[in-house]
Amino acid sequence: MGATLRVYKRRIRSVTATKKITKAMEMIAASRVVKAQRQVAASTPYASELTRAVTAVATGSNTQHPLTTEAERPTRAALLLITSDRGLAGGYSSNVIKAAELLTERLRAEGKEVDAYIVGRKGVSYYAFRERAVQESWTGFTDSPTYADAKAIAAPLIAAVQKDTAEGGVDELHIVFTEFVSMMTQTALDDRLLPLSLGTAAGEQDEPAKGGEILPLFEFEPSAEDVLDALLPRYVESRIYNALLQAAASKHAATRRAMKSATDNAEELIKSLSRLANAARQAEITQEISEIVGGASALADATAGSD
């Protein structure tokens, strides 16, 4: 019985130490997600308005710009997958990787080759384990991305879009990331960044026009093509930056939720082990009492027999 009690006590100490770690990680993630939420809220309006500005320039001109004009027969697409550098976040990385796999299958079913660009060690490891080709990868900043990181990611992607497919370029640019909806909800989704889809944006502009809003007219200096050349890289950078911030907030929220679940499970396990330890202790005490009573009874019988 003593050995069993020692085993239970040792397991309780081990689980208690683990609980302290998971509780600390939960508190760290909770503090980081608040900061990440503020960054998402600050960057989203800029990305949205820049998208509207690029759309307005594209729809207000007749310029056939390579970054806004769809290829007649697209044959190659670039896919930017944003995962995390660290684990302990539940199904965060696996969900976004599944979304990327579904998008890859869909693009290949349309007859397009897919060039993968990966952000985060989890995505890099996933592709490396399956020996899949990766054009470029970036790691080490997914918990706290900066605009400089977004620019570094956007540069080769824009270059690939501007290049002819015969020279290794792509016709489309897709991004797969996790959208931060709330502390309890994060959704893995995919979006096509380039060519810019003008149909939906035009529809969004028509609706306020019906309410009496006058749509602006543009004059381009020196030309609409030059304006698009200047705006579209900013558009891609801002969208990627916003996706990185959304992904970071989602990761911290997922980590907080996973660590809270681990802490709660540790508490339940400690309670269960404590009950078992108490039962083992009670059994040990009962056995000791039985041995004492048995010894006293045997001694009394021996004394009575000698008399």
Tell me the DSSP string of 89-151: STTHHHHHHHHHHHHHHHHHHTT-EEEEEEESHHHHHHHHHTT---SEEE-S-TTS--HHHHH
Kindly state the average pLDDT of the residues 84-90.
87
Structure tokens at 298: 């045997």
The 10s digit of each residue's pLDDT in 128-140 is 999 999 999 999 9
Query: For residue 204, what pLDDT is reported?
Result: 42
Lowest mean pLDDT among 37-41, 173-177, 248-252, 290-294: 290-294
Kindly state the average pLDDT of the residues 27-39.
88
Kindly state the average pLDDT of the residues 265-285.
87
Q: What are phi and psi of 68, to 5 degrees?
A: -120, -5
Over the chain, what is the mean pLDDT?
A: 84
Highest mean predicted confidence (pLDDT) among 39-43, 107-111, 207-211: 107-111
Query: For residue 2, what pLDDT is reported?
Result: 66
Pick 73 or 241 by higher pLDDT: 241
Q: Is 90 left (phi over 0), alpha (psi -120 to 50) or beta?
A: left
Q: What are phi and psi of 107, to 5 degrees?
A: -65, -40
CB 103 within 8 A of CB 176: yes
Measured CA to CA, the distance from residue 244 to residue 257 in angstroms comes to: 20
- In the chain, the percentage of residues whose pLDDT exceeds 70 is 88
Kindly state the average pLDDT of the residues 51-56.
76
pLDDT at residue 184 tops 90? no
The 10s digit of each residue's pLDDT in 193-231 is 888 765 544 434 344 434 444 446 667 677 777 777 788
Q: How sure is the predictor about 174, in pLDDT bands with cuts at 50, 70 and 90? A: very high
Domain boundaries, the chain: 23-259
Give Cα separations from 152 to 141, 147, 155, 236, 252 (angstroms).
12, 9, 6, 11, 23
Q: What are phi and psi of 73, to 5 degrees?
A: -130, 85
Query: For residue 303, what pLDDT is reported?
Result: 74
Measured CA to CA, the distance from residue 274 to residue 183 in angstroms comes to: 33
Lowest mean pLDDT among 101-105, 200-204, 228-232, 241-245: 200-204
Query: For residue 83, what pLDDT is reported?
Result: 94
3-state secondary structure of 188: strand
In the chain, DSSP assigns E strands to 76-82, 113-119, 136-138, 172-180, 186-194
Confirm or reject CATH 3.40.1380.10 for domain 23-259, answering yes or no.
yes
Number of Cβ within a 10 Å radius of residue 286: 11
Instruction: Provide the residue type at 209 as one letter.
Output: A
260's enclosing H/E stretch is helix 224-306
Query: For residue 217, what pLDDT is reported?
Result: 64
Kindly state the average pLDDT of the residues 138-146.
92
CB 258 within 8 A of CB 192: no
